[in-house]
Amino acid sequence: MKKSIGIDLGTTNSVVAVKKVSTEVLKNAEGEYITPSCVMVKKRLMRKPEFIVGRDALEWIRQEPENTITAVKRLIGRNFHEKEVQELISKQSHPYQLSTHSRGSANSLAIQIGGREFTPEEISAKILAKLKADAEAALGDEVDAAVITVPAYFNDKQKHGTRTAAALAGLKVRRLLPEPTAAAISFGVDKISGNDGRTVLVFDFGGGTLDLSILTISGGRIIEMGKGGDMWLGGEDIDQLLINYVLEETARDEGIADIRALIAQQKPARKNKFLAELKTAVERAKIALSDQEETCVEILGVLLDQDGDPLDVEVELPRGRFEGMMIPLLKSMLGLVRGVIADVHFTEDLIDNVLLVGGSSRIPCVIKAVKEEFGQEKVLLHERPMLAVAEGAAILSHRLADTVECPQCTRNTAQNATTCSHCGFDLERHTVEHGVVEIVHAAAHDYYIKLENDQRFLMVEKNTPLPCSSTEVFQLVDAEQELVHMKFYNVVNRKEQGIGDLWLGIDQDKEQEKVEKEEEGAARKPLLPSRIEITLDIDENNLVSVNAALLNHPEVALSRTLSRGKADEKLFLELEQALSDADKEQYSTYTVIDLQNRARSIIGSINGVVDPKNDRVDEKRYEQARKQIHKAIKIAANEEAPLTQLYYAESMLDDYAVLIEPRVQDQLRDKIERLRQVDENGSYEETMRASAALSAALDDKRLAQVNTLMQIENASEICFKTDPGKAKNFCGSFPRFWRPLKNRMALWRRSCMPFCRRWMKFWKIMP
């Protein structure tokens, strides 16, 4: 039977556990419980690279640090231009190279190794694939699904990235479980909750993050009340403090003015070896100081001084000195703890217990600071702080599976059975007393949509119970607006983090036709800007999906895929740039309309480029959309408008066929069909040739009269827009043509309006 496991996908280490009757942490292929979250990309001549994962990869840090990736979790769902990513680059804390992805937008991130680029999701997928394979070997069974833990503070883009990594590794995600909630489950809901229910603060201090969560626990029910923490505060940052200290001490002892410059001058292999050994040595020293009063950091015979002589690093590190360095970090840590409590309008005395988990929670001054804040007796230390999160994930994974092992007879029975079908054991009572009945998750952040003039509109408030759905109606800025670009944000520690964008193409002609049909015979009303209903859904994994519909006209389909920095976003931004350039260049209105019509159909093509489940790019669609954009740019730059011409010819046939000879009609249809075909699939040159052929057909002498009528119509429409009072008299002079003219309003109305250029903005209706 296929198994479902629990995975703690950590910044530094990952752990896998499974629950059958009891919970068991699984050993990896190397016989260890903990797998370093480290991936080495080994180049191979003329072949695809090989990926080494875990302890073996860690060994390569000294030899090929530029090809060995650690702490990839800090990069998942991140943008290259984010402040924190730029800081990582400037501090050189990762020897591998980071850049934007050549297939993505500025909102993407790539890890460059040996001339190849990898997304953080692809690297995380390698770690997950090893965890899955090792678990299968340990269990002797196939593993197809998992509960994967993520920091409570991950935003939607980071969670989406984790899900993508799982899909690439062939794992179905049963739930993305916040790490503190997993830790609480592993502590034993029965041990914490008692009869009356308790409020618990989980303090999860790991390698990369400080993750805080306030939970209420009662009778197997866990309710997430509030979340907080810092994605950039963890053991890695403490190691960085120690690295700075060791370098400063060495510089002082040896009389070196600029030790970082000296390190930079070393040959690359020596420099990389030194930096890798320094990182390992300080981490070892930090861990040692959790049990002893002092230690020493030593790196001998690696660094060379200005004269090329060996320069040994030997720095004494007493615990007191280390604790002095930790003071600012402890202060920000307590600030975050107080913040999360205040967020849910609690006070510290309402917290019944504080659960300490994560490797960095072993540091004595961290434990002391938390005990001083809450009182000694409230603070509980997990016996297996590094394994707790995986255990909690395994317990939930077991709970979400279709069948469970009966705790009494160990045979499989249905998950939803109240008693064991084999031995009659009371499963329901057992779950209430010892297991997890239900978890009520909460939104980790505030979710905003950005409006015209950069105003923010709150769609979902932080800590709202999940799943939740929020629907709001927005009004477009302009009645003529056909293209909309919406930006969605989380606000994390008062900073905006983009989680995805939505591009829509609205066919205003269809919309207008419908309005006109409904209002047949009634007095003509001015065209109002469309209203769009946006629904933001957040599921229990804290994953966002967005739906858009034209209010009152749900049959007018809108494309809707949230793009998150990948190849689709790159194309969307290219298209947006082309439109904004066309606007600045003051192209003729016909050119602009042509470009706008193209953009609408291109948006449809781009929306299918990236598979939302695993971020895979459909190469054929990507190429097609890219070609469409480049062709549109070229057509606009040459001030041409084949589509506008095509619509002109089509409406001529629709409205005036009675006045056109059948042979001329056939000729026109022929040329229209040809232009339509090559416009969709042909090159720029083919399109322009077909457009010239149609133009020649429209210039046929036999169409002179009809062309004149079309121009009168156009003039009437301009009259309608500029002076509606006079328009009545003007149109009254042409009663015979009034009806076809009215039908064609939708097509031509845009041709005379300069404000049709304001298409890329949107507006919120005030309630």
Own/partner pairs for 410-415, CB < 8 Å, 24+ apart? 410/20, 410/21, 412/1
Nearer to ligand AMP, 280 or 545 (CB): 280
Cα–Cα distance measured from residue 642 to residue 19, given in angstroms and rounded to the nearest whole number: 65
Q: For residues 334-360, b (16+ Cβ closer than 10 Å) or e, as one string? A: eebbeebbebbebeeeebbbbbbbbbb
Q: In sequence order, what DSSP letters do the residues of 48-84 get, joined into one string? A: EEEEEETHHHHHTTTT-GGGEE--GGGTTT--TTSHH
Nearer to ligand AMP, 229 or 359 (CB): 359
Is residue 497 helix, strand or coil?
A: strand
Total of residues contacting ligand AMP (CB under 6 A): 18
Nearer to ligand AMP, 135 or 365 (CB): 365
Cα–Cα distance measured from residue 656 to residue 649, given in angstroms and rounded to the nearest whole number: 10
Tokens coding 110? 């790539």
Q: In sequence order, what DSSP letters do the residues of 410-447 get, joined into one string? A: --EEETT-SB-TTT--BHHHHHHHHS--EEE-B-SSEE
Indicate which single residue of 5, 9, 12, 600 sits in contact with ligand AMP (rule: CB under 6 A): 12
In whole angstroms, how close is the CB of 443 to ligand AMP at the nearest point? 24
Nearer to ligand AMP, 285 or 593 (CB): 285
* DSSP helix, strand, coil percent of the chain (3-state; round to 5): 45, 25, 30
Cα–Cα distance measured from residue 337 to residue 341, given in angstroms and rounded to the nearest whole number: 6
Phi-psi sector, 410: left (phi>0), alpha (psi -120 to 50), beta? left
Nearer to ligand AMP, 16 or 427 (CB): 16
In whole angstroms, how close is the CB of 365 to ligand AMP at the nearest point? 10
Near ligand AMP by CB under 6 A, which window of 121-129, 286-294, 328-336, 706-714? 286-294
Question: Site map for ligand AMP, 669-708, x if CB under 6 A?
Answer: ----------------------------------------
Pick the closest to residue 25 from 128, 130, 138, 127 (CA basis). Answer: 138
Q: Which of residues 290-309 bind ligand AMP (CB under 6 A)?
A: 290
Indicate which single residue of 4, 13, 397, 463 sits in contact with ligand AMP (rule: CB under 6 A): 13
Tokens coding 84? 């924190």
In whole angstroms, how close is the CB of 317 to ligand AMP at the nearest point? 13
In whole angstroms, how close is the CB of 231 to ligand AMP at the nearest point? 13
In whole angstroms, how close is the CB of 183 to ligand AMP at the nearest point? 10
Task: Examine residue 286 and tell whether it contacts ligand AMP (CB under 6 A).
Answer: yes
Near ligand AMP by CB under 6 A, which window of 354-362, 505-513, 642-650, 667-675? 354-362
Cα–Cα distance measured from residue 570 to residue 606, given in angstroms and rounded to the nearest whole number: 10
In whole angstroms, how close is the CB of 326 to ligand AMP at the nearest point? 11
In whole angstroms, how close is the CB of 37 to ligand AMP at the nearest point? 9
In whole angstroms, how close is the CB of 149 to ligand AMP at the nearest point? 11
In whole angstroms, how close is the CB of 295 to ligand AMP at the nearest point? 12
In whole angstroms, how close is the CB of 285 to ligand AMP at the nearest point? 10
In whole angstroms, how close is the CB of 209 to ligand AMP at the nearest point? 8
- Residue 490 CA from chain centroid, whole number: 11
Q: Is the previous residue joined to 467 through a cis bond, with omega within 30 degrees of 0?
A: yes
At residue 621's C-alpha, the angle toward residues 619 and 622, to 5°, is 60
Could you say which DSSP state residue 765 is in?
A: P
User: At residue 587, what is the residue type?
Assistant: Y
Indicate which single residue of 36, 65, 178, 206 sits in contact with ligand AMP (rule: CB under 6 A): 206
For residue 423, how many other CB atoms are within 10 A of its CB?
Answer: 12
Cα–Cα distance measured from residue 57 to residue 67, given in angstroms and rounded to the nearest whole number: 10
Nearer to ligand AMP, 367 or 610 (CB): 367
In whole angstroms, how close is the CB of 359 to ligand AMP at the nearest point? 2
Q: Is the previous residue joined to 554 through a cis bond, with omega within 30 degrees of 0?
A: no
Residues composing the chain? 767
φ, ψ dihedrals at 309, nearest 5°: -90, 150
Question: Site map for ligand AMP, 616-635, x if CB under 6 A?
Answer: --------------------
Nearer to ligand AMP, 283 or 482 (CB): 283
Indicate which single residue of 220, 358, 435, 505 sits in contact with ligand AMP (rule: CB under 6 A): 358
Q: In angstroms, what is the C-alpha Rg of the chain?
A: 32
In whole angstroms, how close is the CB of 687 to ligand AMP at the nearest point? 57
Could you say which DSSP state residue 163 is in?
A: H
Q: Which of residues 225-244 bind ligand AMP (CB under 6 A)?
A: 235-236
Please state, in angstroms and as integers, the Cα–Cα distance from residue 663 to each residue in 546, 653, 667, following that order.
50, 12, 6
Q: Are 52 and 70 in contact (CB under 8 A)?
A: no
Beta bridge partners of 205: 210
In whole angstroms, how close is the CB of 357 to ligand AMP at the nearest point? 7
Near ligand AMP by CB under 6 A, which window of 72-80, 356-364, 393-401, 445-453? 356-364
Task: Examine residue 74 and tell whether it contacts ligand AMP (CB under 6 A).
Answer: no
Nearer to ligand AMP, 388 or 641 (CB): 388
Indicate which single residue of 283, 478, 568, 615 sits in contact with ligand AMP (rule: CB under 6 A): 283
Cα–Cα distance measured from residue 69 to residue 40, given in angstroms and rounded to the nearest whole number: 6
Q: Are 215 and 181 in contact (CB under 8 A)?
A: yes
Near ligand AMP by CB under 6 A, which window of 358-366, 393-401, 426-434, 552-560? 358-366
Nearer to ligand AMP, 356 or 643 (CB): 356
Cα–Cα distance measured from residue 243 to residue 262, given in angstroms and rounded to the nearest whole number: 15
Nearer to ligand AMP, 337 or 632 (CB): 337
In whole angstroms, how close is the CB of 73 to ligand AMP at the nearest point? 9
Indicate which single residue of 106, 241, 287, 752 sits in contact with ligand AMP (rule: CB under 6 A): 287
Beta bridge partners of 534: 472, 548
Near ligand AMP by CB under 6 A, which window of 7-15, 89-97, 604-612, 652-660? 7-15
Nearer to ligand AMP, 233 or 363 (CB): 363
Nearer to ligand AMP, 180 or 565 (CB): 180
- Residue 453 CA from chain centroid, whole number: 24
Near ligand AMP by CB under 6 A, which window of 182-190, 355-363, 403-411, 668-676? 355-363
Indicate which single residue of 4, 7, 9, 10 sits in contact with ligand AMP (rule: CB under 6 A): 10
In whole angstroms, how close is the CB of 330 to ligand AMP at the nearest point? 14
For residue 704, how many other CB atoms are within 10 A of its CB?
Answer: 9
Q: Which of residues 243-272 bind ligand AMP (CB under 6 A)?
A: none
In whole angstroms, how close is the CB of 392 to ligand AMP at the nearest point? 13
Task: Examine residue 11 and tell whether it contacts ligand AMP (CB under 6 A).
Answer: yes
Residue 371, Cβ density class (10 Å: 0-12 exposed, 13-18 middle, ≥19 buried):
middle
Q: Which of residues 359-398 bind ligand AMP (CB under 6 A)?
A: 359-360, 362-363, 386
Pick the closest to residue 544 from 565, 562, 566, 570 (CA basis). Answer: 562
Site residues (CB under 6 A) for ligand AMP? 10-13, 206-207, 235-236, 283, 286-287, 290, 358-360, 362-363, 386
